[in-house]
Amino acid sequence: MSTGPLDGQVALVTGASRGIGRATALALAQAGADVAVGCSAASPRASAVADEITSLGRRAVVLAADLGDTAAAQALVQQTIAGLGGIDIVVNNAGLTRDGLAVRMSDADWQQVIAVDLSAAFVICRAALRPMLRKRYGRILNVSSVSGVIGNAGQANYAAAKAGLIGLTKSLAREVATRNITVNAVAPGFIETDMTTTLPDSARHAAVQQVPMARMGTADEVAAGICFLVSPQASYITGHVLHVDGGLGA
pLDDT, tens only, 179-196: 999 999 999 999 998 767
Contact 75, 82 (CB under 8 A): no
* Domains of the chain, earliest start first: 10-243 (3.40.50.720)
Residue 2's pLDDT is 66
The one catalytic residue in 110, 158, 190, 228 is 158
Contact 143, 186 (CB under 8 A): yes
137 is catalytic: no
* pLDDT level of residue 197 (50, 70, 90 thresholds): confident
pLDDT at 1 over 70: no
Residue 117's CB is within 10 A of a number of other CB atoms, namely 27
CB 16 within 8 Å of CB 38? yes
